[in-house]
Amino acid sequence: MILFSGKKGKVVFIAALTLIGIFILCSLGFASEGGGHGGADGSQRLWDLGARFLNFAILVIILFVVIKKTDVKDFFSGRRAEIGQKFEDLKKERDAAEGRFRKLEDELKAFETKKKEIIQQFEAEGVAEKKKIIAEAEERARQILEQAGLTIQREIQAAKDRLAMEMVEAAAQRAQGIIEKEITDSDQDQLVNEFIERVEKLH
Amino acid sequence: MIGSKISSRYAKALFSLGQDDGHYEEYGQNLNEFVGFCSANSEFIRVVSNQIFPVEDRKKVLEAILEKSPFSDVVKNFLRLLVDKNRIAAIDGITDYYSRLTDEFSNITRADIITAKPLKTKALDNLKRALTGLTSKDVRTDVKQDGTLIGGLIVKIGDLVLDGSVRTQLEGLKESLKRGEYN
């Protein structure tokens, strides 16, 4: 029992027990088979079994030696540390990603706020521009109406003047026609005499 | 303008000669007769003033007329000079200017009278007297008739225009009405 103390001893002990167990089980199997056929070739089979067992034992020993030489425990402990480190890294990455996510979320909120502000500003500017355009249009309409009023007044005055001119022309034509028809030699004499009197007054 | 200057220069030269020898009125009459002849014989003045023909030939034509004319020698020489200098075409302007110089020298003024109807003799005499009083010169009248005046008359003495026509009065009335002076 002292030989099998410690961690290493336990492993050797378990391996030895396993081999003995396998050997017993194999012997029982062959014994039951040999009872059925008689004892003619029983020793031959036993030898075959022993060779196989030996073969298997050598394989187990080789495996044991190889595993021992290659430090499987260190490998698995290293692997575990590596996985733990990787897990830690992934956790850090996850934390960083979460941080970035929160940052982006904050930025998105800020962007949304900014967007609302811009939209509100544009809406306010649009309303102001609309008011300005309406005011300008109203002013322009007022000017057009005023101009139209002045134009109408001018046209009316021009029409009045034109009518007056036509009336004067017609009256003058009519007067000339009457005078041409009615003027006599005595009228001419009177006109000449008046002319002479006016010339004499110029002396 | 150039033609007017040429006419005045030649007219003044001839009038100066006439003043010197005292025959300026005769020279004026001769010029008027020559202009009358030219008006009656437009072919003659066209030939004499046409520079296509040689001067000698034109002078021969002029000479043929002058030989039969009673013009004074001074006027004949004056007309020859005009042909020599290619100024015979300006004879109308020269004669007009000469007449004005003569009238001015003789204290005579010319009045163009345009009347709507024929003037009676008494009215014309009265008008002459009034114009003489106005200009302080002896007035010689040239009366023309123009029915478009409707009535009255117009007198032109140099730049002075005295308008007593009905047509002008009607125009004045019309302009006054257009300006709205009778509103």
Asked if residue A168 belongs to a domain, the reply is no
Domain boundaries, chain B: 2-103, 108-179
From the candidates A161, A191, A202, which should be mutated to test the interface with B, based on the most B CB atoms within 10 A? A191
Range with the lowest mean pLDDT among A12-16, A28-32, B2-6? A28-32
Do A80 and A55 have their domain in common?
A: no
Do A81 and A147 have their domain in common?
A: yes
Phi and psi at B70, nearest 5°, equal: -90, 20
Q: Report, at the CATH architecture level, how domain B2-103 is classified.
A: Orthogonal Bundle (1.10)
B159 min Cα distance to partner chain A (Å): 16
Residue with tokens 């196989």: A52
Q: What is the pLDDT of residue A202?
A: 87
Note the pLDDT tens digit of each residue in A156-202.
999 998 998 898 899 889 999 999 999 999 999 999 999 999 999 98
Residue with the bigger pLDDT between A29 and A16: it is A16
Do A143 and A79 have their domain in common?
A: yes
Q: Which domain does A114 fall in, by range?
A: 73-152
Do A77 and A139 have their domain in common?
A: yes
- Alpha-carbon gap, residue A143 to A149, rounded angstroms: 10
Residue with the bigger pLDDT between A23 and A119: it is A119
Q: What is the pLDDT of residue A6?
A: 61
- The SS3 call for residue A193 is helix
Split into its structural domains, chain A has a count of 2
Asked if residue A108 belongs to a domain, the reply is yes
Note the pLDDT tens digit of each residue in B125-173.
999 999 999 999 999 999 999 999 999 999 999 899 999 999 999 999 8
Phi and psi at B157, nearest 5°, equal: -125, 105
Asked if residue A165 belongs to a domain, the reply is no
Residue A2 has pLDDT above 50, yes or no: no
Residue B86 has pLDDT above 80, yes or no: yes
Phi and psi at B137, nearest 5°, equal: -135, 160
- Alpha-carbon gap, residue B181 to A158, rounded angstroms: 18
Band of the pLDDT at A8, cuts 50, 70, 90? low
Mean pLDDT score across all residues of chain A: 85
Residue with tokens 């003033």: B49
Asked if residue A194 belongs to a domain, the reply is no
Compute how many other C-beta atoms are within 10 angstroms of the C-beta atom of residue A104. 11
> A49, A70, A91 — which closes off a domain?
A70
> A50, A70, A90 — which closes off a domain?
A70
Q: What is the pLDDT of residue A100?
A: 93
Asked if residue A186 belongs to a domain, the reply is no
Q: Which of residues 83-122 of B touch A (CB under 8 A)?
A: 115-117, 119-120
Do A136 and A95 have their domain in common?
A: yes
Q: Which of residues 135-194 of A touch B (CB under 8 A)?
A: 164-165, 168-169, 171-172, 175-176, 179-180, 183, 185, 187-189, 191-194
Which has the closest alpha carbon to B34: B16, B14, B53, B57? B14
Do A116 and A146 have their domain in common?
A: yes
Give the CB-side neighbour count of residue B140, counting CA atoms within 13 A: 10
Q: What is the pLDDT of residue B41?
A: 93
Q: Is the ipTM of this complex over 0.85?
A: no
> A44, A70, A96 — which closes off a domain?
A70
**Is A194 in Cβ contact with B164 (below 8 Å)?**
yes
- Is the CATH code 3.40.50 the one for domain B108-179? no
B89 min Cα distance to partner chain A (Å): 40
Task: Check if the beta carbon of residue B58 is closer than 8 Å to that of residue B83.
Answer: yes
Do A56 and A98 have their domain in common?
A: no
Helix axes B24-40 and B73-84, enclosed angle (nearest 10): 50
Q: Name the pTM for this structure.
A: 0.52
Q: Which residue of B has its CA nearest to A170?
A: B174
Asked if residue A193 belongs to a domain, the reply is no
Note the pLDDT tens digit of each residue in B44-79.
999 999 999 999 999 999 999 999 999 999 999 999
Given the DSSP bridges, would you call strands B138-145 and B160-163 parallel, antiparallel or unpaired? Answer: unpaired
Do A90 and A146 have their domain in common?
A: yes
> What are the residues facing B161 on neighbouring strands?
B156
Do A80 and A146 have their domain in common?
A: yes
Mean pLDDT confidence for B26-39: 95
